[in-house]
A and B are shown apart, each in its own frame.
Chain A
Amino acid sequence: MAPRLVLRRRTFLAGVLAFGLDFARAETRRFRIALANLDETPGVTLEGLGFSGAELRHSFELAARTLPIDMVYFDNAGDPARAVTNAEAAIAARVDLLIEYNADGDANAEIAHRLAAAGIPALALVDPLPGAPLYGPDNLAAGRIAGRALGAFARDTWSDEGVLGVLIGDLADPGPVVSDRIQGINEGVRESLPTLKLASLDTGGQSVRADALLTKFLQTQRDQRLLIATLDDLAAVYAKNAVEMNRRQSDCIIVSQGLDRNIHGGASEKKEINPNNRASVVLGSVAYYMDRYGYDVLPLVLRLLAGETLPPRTVTQHILVTAANVFREYPPFDMN
Chain B
Amino acid sequence: MRIAGLAAFMGMSILSLLAPSAPASAQADCKTVVAPSPFGPDDQTGATNRVTPAVTKAAAAEIQTGVVTPMANNLVDGVPLFGTRFSKTILSSFAVVPGAEYGKNKLSYMEDTYLSQSHVGTHIDGMGQIGIQDCYYNQTPMGKYVTQNYLKRLGIENIKTFATRGVIIDAVKVFQAAGKLKPNAACKNPCLDAGTVITEADLQAGLKMYNVTLREADAVFINTGWGDLFQQFPAQNATYNGGEPGISKSAAMWLASQKVVAVGTDTWAVEVIPGEDTTEAFPVHKILLTDNGIHIIENVRTDLISAAAASSNRATFFLSMTVPKAVGLTGTFVNIEAIQ
Contacts and interface: CB of A to CB of B under 8 A. Distances in A.
Interface of A: 61-62, 65-66, 267-268, 270, 275-277, 292, 295, 323-325, 327-336
Interface residues of B, number: 36
A270 B6 contact: yes
A328 B276 contact: no
A62 B20 CA distance: 25
Nearest to A335: B241
B5 A333 contact: no
Contacts of A324: 21
Contact of B17 (A267, A328, A336): A267
B83 A270 contact: no
B241 A336 contact: yes
Contact of A270 (B9, B277, B279, B282): B9
A66 B247 CA distance: 12
A-B interface, 5 closest residue pairs, ranked by CB to CB distance from nearest: A335-B241, A331-B281, A268-B83, A267-B83, A335-B82
Contacts of A334: 241-243, 273
Contacts of A61: 195
Nearest to A277: B5
Contacts of B241: 334-336
Given A62-B195, A267-B83, A333 B275 contact: yes
Contacts of A335: 80-83, 240-242, 268
A270 B276 contact: no
A325 B21 contact: yes
Contacts of B248: 66
Interface in B1-49: 2, 5-6, 8-9, 12, 14, 17-18, 20-21
16 contacts: A61-B195, A62-B278, A65-B195, A267-B17, A267-B82, A268-B9, A276-B9, A295-B277, A295-B278, A327-B281, A331-B278, A332-B17, A332-B18, A333-B282, A334-B273, A336-B242
B279 A331 contact: yes
B112 interface: no
A275 B21 contact: yes
A336 B229 CA distance: 14
Interface string B64-83: 00000000000000001111
B197 interface: yes
Nearest to B199: A66
Contacts of A277: 5
Contacts of A292: 278
Given A270-B2, A332-B18, A332-B281, 16 more contacts: A65-B196, A267-B14, A267-B17, A267-B84, A268-B9, A276-B12, A277-B5, A328-B21, A331-B281, A332-B83, A333-B274, A334-B242, A335-B81, A335-B82, A335-B242, A336-B242
